Structure 1
Amino acid sequence: MHPFYQTSDQVEDAIFEAKVSGYFFKNFLCINAEADPQNYYSGTERALKSGYDGVIVKLILEGHCDFSGDASSIRNGAGGITILDMSREVIGITPKIDTINLVIPRHVLSKHIVNIESLHLQTLNQASVMTRLLVNHMTMLRKEAKSITQNEILDVSKLTIELVISALQNHIKTANLAPPRSENSLLFKIKEYICSNIQSTDLSVVNICTKYHISRAKLYRITEPLGGVASFIRKQRLQHAYRLVRSNEETKVQVSTIAFQSGFKSLSNFSLLFKEEFGISPSESIQLNNTYKKVDLNNPNEQPMVNSLLISAWLNQVLL
């Protein structure tokens, strides 16, 4: 699961086996993973700095996993769903295991669920009808993924996200969720505030300090795991710009429009930072997106181009 986690095998590399496949949907990624015994780990600082911000809905089909992190631990077995917040610490120890993982960007869920971080390391109640519906849907999604057409993918995506939201909302009603630790809670609030207001040119250190009634010194200390507040804001602006490019339906979209809609005041500064972050200029990225839209995803003759475009952009497209 790199780059999400650091991993180590419990068996010799020469005999370790794993089978991983993934499918791209409009607003989530579905990863099927079968693997020999292994350990994996991600700390809060590493997760926050990675830039990939989302929630993993992990269904175990065979085997089990011992999860721990943030002073709590659980074991989840076959048929169980565990929620992992990608910005929180987690250690996983598994024997031979088979899983289905839905990787969903935080902003897709945060519109409907308050304090998503409180769901970290929660296992959904298998006696709940909503949980069983989600289990059945994820299992069927793996079985039918190869058969889903481009005309069906939006409806499948919408249905999947709605089922996840309903299952999580149902869990929140009945579970005894512990609130995050105070300083961690403030960090997540600041992070969410930045992400929700990334289009505003008024978003700044002063603005955040005023909003949360804290000093600059405290803000800098709290946001150290993010790599610094200014750096994090800049990275989020660039990721927002990338999403705008990828989702834009216009073939003649202006770089200046993307820049200003992402909170940048200087077009030249935006272009320079964008190229440093993604390796290509904003105009080249727009051109790549236009090329992608012209490709027939169901045409075998164009499959090499499809693979090239998807492999180069899949993490950014789904998670950034």
Structure 2
Amino acid sequence: MENATSLPSLRLDAEMVGARHCYDAWRETVRCVYDVNPLNDGTSTTERLEAWLLDNLIFSETAFSEQTFAHNARHAEDSNYLTLQIYKSGGSKGVFGNRDWQMEPGEVHIYDFSREFHSVAQNSVVAGVTLPHSAIGYDPGKHPAHMSYGANSPIGQLLKNAVFLMQKQAPDVKPDEAPELARVFCGMLSGLILPQTEERDTKATKSRAERHADMRAYLERNLGDPTLGIEHLLRTFAVSRPAIYRDFADVGGVAAYINKRRLDRAFHQLLSASAKATRVKDVANQLGFQDPAYFSRLFRQRFGISPVGALNSRGISTPYASQGDASDNQFAVRDLSNWFNTI
């Protein structure tokens, strides 16, 4: 897998672990950062992972079938690192905190692994880099949890070119070259993204931002009330109807925001629930949806999967570690987890 003259690396695919173990091997290898579950009935053999450890950065390329990804509280705890991802093909959508989560081919997304998020992915190929917060001076309390750059934007193109070049060169990089390459890459990333995020933060007026946050927090606390709407905000906050319209214009209005947050909360609950102990109807009712059919239609429109499909995707197959004839390939499981523990 590696030698003294090359970077630490790992590879996992159907050829190495056997076709019938491929998905279980993939699930077990990435569970240090994600809980993953397939969306199809068959056993996928397309899962693939190749990664290189460049000083304290992990460069990777992964391929996977349709599935759900859940980065839960146990993954987020003490996860003081960021991930940069570029979908070469496919895509994903879901929720990150109280924001929409959607990735299209060619876009560059950078997000904080110390936060929880859930997504549904298509058949995809993804290039990625994982790096410590400290490597670029990222502060979770100051900088955005999620940053994105368009496929054709100057920053997006520069980041893509840098990541793809590093991936191409990784097999030939010598260990003594890794620290300087990592320093240069992180310096470029820090110089490109942090000044922009800081500038955006200072442009927001404090009073409006605080009112904005207070109203959203109120809605979050009352999502289970089926009558929740703009009238509640008018009664609770000393603000005019036009002001509320302006505050929620960027999310399609108060009603649209409430529906999105209810659906996002349902998405989290269904992906985190036990299929045997949870009913979709109960989750819908708890979040203010009185018509299950309406809830299901909105849920599928938002996430590309039915509520039942999200709940059933929690089913766990036989762990890869228990597959005796695949035990020689446990290095991928061990090494990736160790890498994440050391960056």
Q: TM-score, normalised by structure 2?
A: 0.49
Radius of gyration: which is bigger?
2
Which residue does 1:91 correspond to in 2?
118
> CA deviation digits over 1:86-141, x for unaligned, max 9?
111211211111111211112223xx344466422331244542332111010111
Which residue does 2:183 correspond to in 1?
158
Which residue does 2:231 correspond to in 1?
none
Give SS of 2:192's match: helix
Aligned counterpart in structure 1 of residue 98 of structure 2, from 47, 71, 80: 71
Does the 8 Å contact 1:124/1:131 carry over to 2? yes
Query: For residues 153 and 103 of structure 2, what CA distance do their matches in structure 1 show?
Result: 16
Which residue does 1:5 correspond to in 2?
34
Quick one: which amino acid aligns to residue 158 of structure 1?
R
Aligned counterpart in structure 1 of residue 129 of structure 2, from 99, 102, 107: 102
Cα distance, 1:126–1:6 mapped onto 2, change above 3 Å:
same
Cα distance, 1:9–1:125 mapped onto 2, change above 3 Å:
same
Q: Is residue 23 from structure 1 mapped to residue 67 from structure 2 by the alignment?
A: no
Quick one: which amino acid aligns to residue 161 of structure 2?
N
Does the 8 Å contact 1:41/1:90 carry over to 2? yes
Does the 8 Å contact 1:67/1:121 carry over to 2? no
Q: Is residue 47 from structure 1 mapped to residue 75 from structure 2 by the alignment?
A: yes
Query: For residues 311 and 29 of structure 1, what CA distance do their matches in structure 2 show?
Result: 9
**Cα displacement (A) at 1:316:** 2.5
> CA deviation digits over 1:36-70, x for unaligned, max 9?
11110123x32343x33211111111111213121
Give SS of 1:140's match: helix
Does the 8 Å contact 2:96/2:116 carry over to 1? yes
Structure 2, unpaired ranges of 5+? 1-29, 215-330
Which residue does 1:33 correspond to in 2?
62
Give SS of 1:22's match: strand
Which residue does 1:195 correspond to in 2?
none
Which residue does 1:141 correspond to in 2?
166
Does the 8 Å contact 1:59/1:101 carry over to 2? yes
Quick one: which amino acid aligns to residue 47 of structure 1?
H
Does the 8 Å contact 2:143/2:197 carry over to 1? no
> CA deviation digits over 1:282-306, x for unaligned, max 9?
xxxxxxxxxxxxxxxxxxxxxxxx9
Query: For residues 100 and 191 of structure 2, what CA distance do their matches in structure 1 show?
Result: 25
> CA deviation digits over 1:141-190, x for unaligned, max 9?
122211111232122211211122123225415657998979xxxxxxxx
Q: TM-score, normalised by structure 1?
A: 0.52
After superposing the two structures, state which structure 1 stretch, 76-85 or 123-132, moved more.
123-132
Structure 1 segment 157-176 matched on structure 2, within 5 A: 157-172=182-197
Give SS of 2:56's match: coil
Q: Is residue 129 from structure 1 mapped to residue 129 from structure 2 by the alignment?
A: no
Does the 8 Å contact 2:54/2:182 carry over to 1? yes
Q: Is residue 80 from structure 1 mapped to residue 107 from structure 2 by the alignment?
A: yes
Give SS of 2:115's match: coil
Quick one: which amino acid aligns to residue 157 of structure 2?
R
Does the 8 Å contact 2:76/2:116 carry over to 1? no
Which residue does 2:83 correspond to in 1?
56
Cα distance, 1:8–1:163 mapped onto 2, change above 3 Å:
same
Structure 1 segment 222-301 matched on structure 2, within 5 A: none
Quick one: which amino acid aligns to residue 29 of structure 1?
I
Query: For residues 72 and 42 of structure 1, what CA distance do their matches in structure 2 show?
Result: 15
Alignment root-mean-square deviation, CA? 3.2
Does the 8 Å contact 1:31/1:102 carry over to 2? yes
